[in-house]
């Protein structure tokens, strides 16, 4: 919250020993009801013209969400929690995929791939078919690449989805602001949601990239 005390002359708290005992506490009184904000007050004071005819006072209705807002909020929640699970899952998948390769096999596969590309240019195909060991490395490397590519594809977020999520998060923040419920925690929560929902593709790319580099190094 604030930097530690750095005054070289500081002799610490002048209440040593007095705070060793647990304090006596009391039950706090009920806080006063929150006064409605200006816009809410105006809303509440507006009575329908015909209300007198029915002899009833209009009740202040709780804020209602539109169907789109509800759907979008549910999507945000699902994405936020889902993203955490998917991230964990991706890490596990990457570790599993890495374990299928022995030391140096992926590096050999990459060399082989380059060699194959060069050979293909010269009209030669399937140079590995004759050697079962080379064939095995080739297949393992391909499986490894496919697994990582599938992971990247699964988590890609298209532009329209991204916009919808951003709108839902923004609407949620605005509603909290109207109700005076906005504090540091909700801002931190929003940032986390944004990171998880908008930057998830980048995070997966990072994980898969790291896994590839590691496999190529070993």
Partner 1 sequence: MEELRESFSVLHIGAKKTGKTTASLAMMVDFWEHQRKPCVVLDLSNHPSFDRFRRIEIEDLPRLDQYTGRKYFVYRPTDPMNLQNEILYFCQTLTQYVRNTVVVFEDFTIYLSGNVHPSIKNMILGSRNACNDYIFNVHSFSDLGPFALKHCEIYIVRHTIDNPESLTTNIPYAVRPFVAQAIREINRENRTVKEGKPRLAFRTILKDEGRILK
What are the DSSP E strand ranges found in 150-215?
none
- Give me the least distance between CB of 164 and partner 1, in Å please: 30
Which 104-123 residues touch partner 1, going by CB under 8 A?
none
The answer to whether 140 and 109 are in contact (CB under 8 A) is yes
Please give the size of the binding site for partner 1, defined by CB under 8 A. Answer: 32
- 54 touches partner 1 by CB under 8 A: no
Residue with tokens 């609407």: 171
Which 170-189 residues touch partner 1, going by CB under 8 A?
183-185
- Give me the least distance between CB of 213 and partner 1, in Å please: 38
The answer to whether 144 and 136 are in contact (CB under 8 A) is no
Quick one: which segment of 5-13, 51-59, 85-93, 154-162 binds partner 1 (CB under 8 A)? 5-13
CA distance 143 to 164: 35
Quick one: which segment of 7-15, 103-111, 116-124, 140-148 binds partner 1 (CB under 8 A)? 7-15
CA distance 81 to 74: 11
- Give me the least distance between CB of 28 and partner 1, in Å please: 4
Which 13-52 residues touch partner 1, going by CB under 8 A?
13-29, 31-32, 34
178-182: Cβ within 8 A, 24+ apart: 178/37, 178/39, 178/40, 179/63, 180/34, 180/37
Q: Which is nearer to partner 1, 15 or 50 (CB)?
A: 15
- Give me the least distance between CB of 199 and partner 1, in Å please: 25
Residue 148: CB atoms within 10 A of its CB come to 23
Q: Which is nearer to partner 1, 11 or 57 (CB)?
A: 11
CA distance 129 to 139: 11
Q: Which is nearer to partner 1, 25 or 46 (CB)?
A: 25
Q: Which is nearer to partner 1, 118 or 180 (CB)?
A: 180
- Give me the least distance between CB of 72 and partner 1, in Å please: 26
Q: Give Cα 193 distance to the centre of its chain.
A: 5
- Give me the least distance between CB of 80 and partner 1, in Å please: 19
Exposure of 90 in the CB half-sphere (CA atoms within 13 A): 26
The answer to whether 129 and 30 are in contact (CB under 8 A) is no
Contact residues toward partner 1 (CB under 8 A) are: 1-3, 5, 7, 9-29, 31-32, 34, 183-185
């Amino acid at each position: 919250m604030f930097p530690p005390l750095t005054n070289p002359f500081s002799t610490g708290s002048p209440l040593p020993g007095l705070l060793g005992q647990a304090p006596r506490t009391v039950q706090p009184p009920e806080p006063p009801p929150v006064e409605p904000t200006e816009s809410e007050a105006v809303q509440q004071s507006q009575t329908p013209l015909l209300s007198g005819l029915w002899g009833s006072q209009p009740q202040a209705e709780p804020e209602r969400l539109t169907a789109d807002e509800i759907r979008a909020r549910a999507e945000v929640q699902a994405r936020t929690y889902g993203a955490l699970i998917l991230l964990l899952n991706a890490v596990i998948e990457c570790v599993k995929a890495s374990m299928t390769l022995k030391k140096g096999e992926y590096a050999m596969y990459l060399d082989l791939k380059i060699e194959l590309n060069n050979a293909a240019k010269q009209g030669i195909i399937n140079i590995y078919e004759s050697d079962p060991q080379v064939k095995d490395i080739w297949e393992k490397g391909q499986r490894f690449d496919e697994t990582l590519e599938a992971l990247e594809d699964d988590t890609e977020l298209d532009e329209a989805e991204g916009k919808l999520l951003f709108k839902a998060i923004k609407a949620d923040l605005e509603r909290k602001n109207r109700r005076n419920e906005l504090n540091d925690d909700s801002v931190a929560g929003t940032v986390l949601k944004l990171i998880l929902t908008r930057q998830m593709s980048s995070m997966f790319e990072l994980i898969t990239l790291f896994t590839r580099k590691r496999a190529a190094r070993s």
